Structures are given as structure tokens and as C-alpha cells.
Structure 1
Amino acid sequence: MFNRDYILISGAVLVIAVGQIIFKYAAQQLHIDEGRTLVRIALDNLFPIILVALALGLYVLSTIAWIQALRTTPLSVAYIFNAMAFLIVPLAGVVFFGEPLPKFFFIGALMIIGGIVVVTIK
């Protein structure tokens, strides 16, 4: 596995995390009332729909980076990096949405980081 692969994989995970934050923000902006037509709901929620499209576009970019990295990286090494999203997304939830962290978040975070380190040892 080359340094370029670590960058691609880490970047792919980071972009996925950004997509999750955009999804959360878009979900908070949605206004859906019963009795309205689907067209009316779509028109009233144009901004959140655009945000969802942006997040999906980021997912496409992330997938391209991921596939490129998988050309030279074993799945057993690459896949463990997805666990970084379990660190990034909750921390972003605190920063952007004021959400509380689970009680033992940092213990779990250390375990995830330890797992990534152990798996990537050559």
C-alpha cells in the first residue's frame, strides 16, 4: 500500500463524513406537511433537495477515490479505514449541531484508532 492509497482512502472517508453532515443539515431544513402534493413538497424544499444532490455527488467522488485506492490496497486494510467515519461524524455532530457525544465515545475512539494502527502495521 502506497502513501497515495492512504490519502485516497482517508479522503474518501472524509468526503463520506462531509456527505453525512450535509444529509443531516438537509433533513433539518425539510418541511413536509400532510395533505400537500409531492410537487408542492418538492418546490417548498428545493434547498434541502439541492443539498441532498450535493451530498450524493460527494458520494460519487468518494467512490471514485475508493475504487482507485482498491486497485493496489487489500480490502482487509482499506475497509478498516471506514471506521474513521465513526469518529469524524459524531465529532462533526457536536461542532455543527450541538449534539452530545455518547458517554464512552472517547474509549471507543481509542479502540478504533488502535485497530487502524494494528491493521496497517507491516
Structure 2
Amino acid sequence: MEEKIKMKKEKKTIKVHREDFNISKEVVEKGKVTIRKTVKTETSNHEIPLVHEKINIEEITVNKEVAEMPKIRKEGNTTIISVVEEVAVVTKKLMLIKEIHITKEQVEKIENIETALRKESVSIDRKG
């Protein structure tokens, strides 16, 4: 006797899975920076030499006879201007009666100048 073996085919299902992922971004505050600018005004003194000219006028009596009118002349930083006068005598003579000596000097003086100067500074506070 022949036996018939009956085989039963069974169908098995294997499920295959797939994973997906999503990437997204988020803005997250990590810290804060505060910047402050301040302006300070400071007073500053400066010494500045200033020059001006000073003139001294001196009259010198000469009373000396001259043959002709003397020219203006310079001796160093002094300018000499002769002043003459005619004097009545039996004969007329030109008399040098005085000279004017003008001396020019430079005078330097120190002045204090007060000036307001501004100065900026920055401070940074970091939080986080």
C-alpha cells in the first residue's frame, strides 16, 4: 500500500519594517550679551606758550651838532630815529638834540587752557 503523504504547503509572511526619521531645528537661547556705551567728560589742562612783542621807547638827550640829517639806523634789535632841531645862531647849525631808541623784545607767557575731553568706554555682560 502506498501511502500518500500529503504535504501541506504553508505560507508564512514575514513583515519587513522600515524606520523613518525626521530632523528639525529649533532656536534655543544659549545666553545674552548686553553692551553699554558710556561717555565720560574729563577736564584737561594744557600749558601753551604764547608770544607777543613789547616795545620800549627811550629818549636819549644828545645835544650834538651835526652837518646833515642822520638816517634811521638799527643797532641789534634797536631802531634809532634821530630828532633834530635848528638852532638860531649867527650861523645856522643842525643840532642833534636827541635820539629815540626803540627796542623790541619777545615776551613769552604760559597760559592754562581748560578743555573738556570726552572718553567712551564699553562694558559687556554675558549671561549664559
User: Does TM, normalized by the shorter one, top 0.5?
Assistant: no
TM range (shorter): under 0.3
Structure of larger gyration radius: 2
- TM-score by structure 1 length? 0.22
- TM-score by structure 2 length? 0.21
- Counting helix residues as a fraction of each chain, which structure ranks higher? 1
